Amino acid sequence: MKQYLFILFIPFLCYTQDEKLRIETINVFKEFQPKISNSKKIGEQPIFNDTLSVNVVSPQLILDKNLKFKEIIFFKSPSKFRMNKVNNNVEKYFSITTGSHTFLKTKFHYNNGLSVVHNSGVYLEHTSEDYALKSPYYKNMNGELNNSIKLYSNRFLNDKLLEISSQFARKSGLYWGGLGAFPIDTISNFIGNLFNIKANLKQLPNAKFLKSINLELYSFANNYGREELCLSSSLDFELEKALRKYSFSLSYNVINTSLSADWISLNSVSINPQISSALQKDAMSDMVFKSKLLISGTKFIDYTVGLDAQYYSLTDLNVYTEVSDIAYLIFPTVKIFKNIPNNQRIEFLIQKDFKYHSFTSIFDNISYFDPYYRNSIENEIQVSLMYNSDFSENSSLFATVKYNVLKNKLMPFLVSSETEYGSLFAQNTGLMHPLSFYASDFNGIVATSSLSFSKNQYDFLISGTVNMLSSSEHVDRNMLPLIELNSMLTVNLFENLDISSYAYFLSEREALRIPSLLSSNSNLTYVPLESYVNLNLSMKYTFQNMIFSLDFKNLLGQRIEFFDGYYDDDRFKFRLGFLYNF
């Protein structure tokens, strides 16, 4: 009997042994899954009743903005409200917005939906304002036409993520600065075509030493014979040992530019070296190399220390000459931060950086600048002190004070007929007043503060900047605005209806005028640019898988001056929008 019982248990013993062997040979790859706050989840999904009693506020600037070249304001909407929030990775949607000044903006996005293998799709976008379908096409001086198409695919490869995208974009408009009294069909236009391919490979598990590989190739061409080809690559490494994190990054950029303008042959031409111009040049070849080694850890304070090594070479090529500008930097990077009681944080930072301003990067923001601009390098040293505090569950404060030393900061100025610009070409078929850039040195303090207040039904955000940068070359001149103010108020009136107001204030400043591109800077003059307040109101109503919107732009009807000769005097404008998720 015992023998029969033993025989009956043999299969169970084999099964148990098989399970042990199976457990010993299984490798489980489980990515760390950070917790996502409920407020963030609500912002990414259709709206539900917000029951979250604590609002999580990130320790960074509440309102993003970029005023380096043009007023470009990006407001971060409160996460719990669905304001212009569409999940671009999985959503399929079509949107159309129309309004005054024959404004039309359409977007279309389609992809394969949720998948554990890949996420692939296509974007189509069209934007036009004051633009017609027949000549003279532009109905107003500041009319523009933009079209773009983007294909992308994100492939999930075990413990890796491969992101591939390709984009073609075309943008056109007029060089109309200071030419408001002339017929539109006599003004020269610009057309820029951009094609790029990106490929990024990211390692997902934290244990991997190689974190990412990034490659990008783009080609840009305009209707003035300029062709720009750029290859960018970067590597990021990271290793954690003995409660320390070691990070190392490399980036390498090569930019080749060719010009085929019909120059007038001039003997002993001397362009002002502070003007970023490629006049009388045939080609340019630039190279920028950056590397950074960082060590992070925690003792009494949290710290990140390391070393930056950077190098660049800018080469101008003519038929008989080749001139190069070469420089390098080796500079320490220090970042110290400390969390103190009552939800407070202090951070101190020292760093130095070369910033390369290519034609393509500027064209995205300011399309009406000199088609023969010379790509340039800005040298920046920054020492900053940051403070962040959560006063309560509903409010937080962010403040930072920076001391900046800027070398070769680009200052825009209007290139008009008085600057002898048109006399440098053998043929000039139309009037042309683009912007160009004059390099100046600045140093001083920039202070920024942001305050947020949030309740269940409304959010209020305000940010202000005081700019005290000065230049020994422009003594007692307000080349940069002293004060900038941003604010946003969002109110959830009903379950599906949100109203937001946006306000932006920019104080007065001065624009540079240069009498000639061929002379020294001894005769610089200045022209004032008036301050303004830009007030906007937006309403959005969500019904099932549709969003209806109504926007009012520049409610105060003010003239908005961007640069000398370039402004927005359209005054009050409105927009009607519709978005459909399918």
pLDDT reported for residue 341: 86
Confidence of residue 235 (pLDDT cuts 50, 70, 90): very high
Residue 165: is its pLDDT beyond 90? Answer: yes
Task: Write down all domains in the chain, each with its CATH number in brackets.
Answer: 39-581 (2.40.170.20)
* Cα-only R_g, the chain: 28
> What is d(CA 458, CA 575) in angstroms, rounded to the nearest whole number?
23
pLDDT reported for residue 317: 86
pLDDT tens per residue across span 8-25: 444 444 444 444 444 444
List, as one string, the DSSP characters of 406-443: EEEEEEEEE--GGGT-GGGBS---SB-B-EEEEEEEEE
Q: With the CA atoms of 227, 228, 229 and 235 taken in that order, what torsion angle do they form, in degrees rounded to the nearest 10?
A: -170
pLDDT tens per residue across span 63-97: 333 333 434 433 333 333 333 444 455 589 999 99
> What is d(CA 533, CA 552) in angstroms, rounded to the nearest whole number?
14
φ and ψ of 213, to 5 deg: -130, 125
Greater model confidence, 381 or 2: 381
> What is d(CA 466, CA 447) in angstroms, rounded to the nearest whole number?
5
pLDDT reported for residue 260: 81
Within 8 A by CB and 6+ apart from 245, the residues are 238, 239, 295, 296, 297
In the 3-class helix/strand/coil scheme, how is 78-94 assigned residue by residue?
CCCCCCCCCCCCCCCEE
Phi-psi region at 571: left, alpha or beta (left = phi > 0; alpha = psi -120 to 50): left
Largest pairwise CA distance in the chain:
115
pLDDT reported for residue 135: 78
> What is d(CA 11, CA 5) in angstroms, rounded to the nearest whole number?
11
Within 8 A by CB and 6+ apart from 3, the residues are none
User: Is 546 in contact with 578 (CB distance < 8 Å)?
Assistant: yes
Phi-psi region at 158: left, alpha or beta (left = phi > 0; alpha = psi -120 to 50): left
In this prediction the pTM is: 0.81
φ and ψ of 3, to 5 deg: -65, -40
> What is d(CA 384, CA 448) in angstroms, rounded to the nearest whole number?
11
Peptide bond into 136 cis (omega under 30): yes
pLDDT reported for residue 21: 42
pLDDT tens per residue across span 387-403: 999 888 889 999 999 99
pLDDT reported for residue 82: 36
Which sign, positive or negative, has the C-alpha torsion 526, 527, 528, 534?
A: negative
Greater model confidence, 34 or 194: 194
pLDDT reported for residue 71: 42
Kindly state the average pLDDT of the residues 486-512: 94
Q: Mean pLDDT lowest for which of 48-62, 480-494, 505-519, 554-568?
A: 48-62
Greater model confidence, 40 or 149: 149
Residue 372: is its pLDDT beyond 70? Answer: yes
pLDDT tens per residue across span 394-437: 899 999 999 999 999 999 999 887 666 666 665 556 788 999 99
Q: Mean pLDDT lowest for which of 326-330, 490-494, 517-521, 561-565?
A: 517-521
Within 8 A by CB and 6+ apart from 411, the residues are 437, 438, 439, 440, 479, 512
